[in-house]
Amino acid sequence: MPEHTLLAIDAGQTGIKTRLVAPDGTAQEWLFPGVLTDRPLLTQLTSVVAEVTRVAQQAPHTVTFGVSGLTSADDEADALMQHPDVAGVQRIAVTHDSVTSFLGVLGDQQGAVVAAGTGVVTLGVGPEHSTRVDGWGHIMGDAGSGFWIGRAALDAVMRAFDGRGPATALTPVVQERWPDLETAYVALQSAEDRVRTVASFAAPTARHAASGDEVATRICRDAAAELAASALAALRVTDAPADAAVGAIGGVFGADIIRSAFEAAVRAERPDARFVPPAGTGLDGAVALADLGPGHPLHERFAERTR
């Protein structure tokens, strides 16, 4: 149990999950809209702290942040500590959400955790150091993510529409949103929430893959191959042992076709890899971040500030 009141924040693109833990171990949780990675993080994060403080009627002593789209933990920690909405907080710890995902899923084990939702990031931890693989955003990376799958689905639908590709059951799915496919791209490009809109087509793609649609099946298998490539790279770069643990979390892995193809691809290169169920969630990892000691391989990946 924390010595002081702790607010743990798991800020992903799908949603911002929070847990307020009192010294006696009792906890409350709230869910907020997800992080918009194309906008400044500071106001998005501080508004969450302010709202929890208002509801709890007291500022937490410690706040930990696992944040999607984080570029500099040090810069963000400095800015957060200076923001008036965090004035009552005595200690903060800031890191990328790949770190909190790893801590929540594998804890102190060596291995790799692939977190695949709207975006995707993989973190590997070996005997001496850690490494991050992908998580480079929907323009430069996020291979195998919900956005990546949705983008591939939209591409396939438009190829079927103009004659470049085979027919697919995904076409009526897209037409439910944009009946006129010829003007769909205009509506999508002008939408403020276009990243989430594109990612929203990942789930129906997985459903149609399960129903036998060949186009959807190919997309899902390609996504699994990308996710496996990230996991294998993380294990290789960190010199993780042959029987390293592999965790796979996030909505994308809710599709059986993707999870099974992912595991098969990893086993093809790492037959002794152990696919383990998550010990917890990214929010649990944000709680654990408060007690991460300097001897842990992930300690260098977060910034801490105190008053």
- Tell me the backbone φ, ψ of residue 276, rounded to 5 degrees: -110, 145
Q: Transcribe the chain into DSSP letters.
A: --SS-EEEEEE-SSEEEEEEE-TTS-EEEEEEEPP-TTS-HHHHHHHHHHHHHHHHTS--SEEEEEETT-S-HHHHHHHHHHSGGGTT--EEEEEEHHHHHHHHHTTT--EEEEEESSSEEEEEE-SS-EEEE---HHHH--TTSHHHHHHHHHHHHHHHHHTSS---THHHHHHHH-S-GGGHHHHHHT-TTHHHHHHTTHHHHHHHHHTT-HHHHHHHHHHHHHHHHHHHHHHHHTT--TT-EEEEESGGGGSHHHHHHHHHHHHHH-TT-EE---SS-HHHHHHHHTT--TTSTTGGGEEEEE-
* CB 7, CB 19: distance < 8 Å: yes
The distance from CA 98 to its chain's CA centroid, rounded to whole angstroms, is 7
* CB 16, CB 26: distance < 8 Å: no
- Read off the pTM: 0.84
Percent of the chain exceeding pLDDT 90 equals 76
* CB 194, CB 154: distance < 8 Å: no
- Residue 110, pLDDT score: 93
1, pLDDT greater than 70: no
Residue written as token pair 């059951």:
169
Distance CA 121, CA 133 (A): 6
CA 181-201-153 angle, to 5 degrees, is: 65
187 Cβ neighbours under 8 A, 6+ residues apart: 178
Q: What is the pLDDT of residues 94-142, one digit of tens each?
A: 998 889 989 999 988 999 999 999 999 999 999 888 999 999 989 999 9
Residue written as token pair 């291995």:
111
pLDDT bracket for residue 299 (50, 70, 90): confident
Tell me the average pLDDT across 197-217: 97
- Residue 2, pLDDT score: 61
Tell me the average pLDDT across 220-225: 98
Q: What is the pLDDT of residues 247-285, one digit of tens each?
A: 999 899 999 999 999 999 999 999 999 999 988 888 999
- Residue 168, pLDDT score: 98
- Residue 25, pLDDT score: 87
Q: What is the pLDDT of residues 81-97, one digit of tens each?
A: 999 999 999 999 999 88
Residues in the chain, total: 307
What integer best gives the mean pLDDT of the chain?
93
**Span of 164-173, 174-183, 184-193 with lowest mean pLDDT:** 184-193
> Which span out of 4-13, 123-132, 145-154 was modeled with the highest average pLDDT?
145-154
Distances (CA, A) of 11 to 94, 156, 245: 11, 31, 25
- Residue 69, pLDDT score: 77
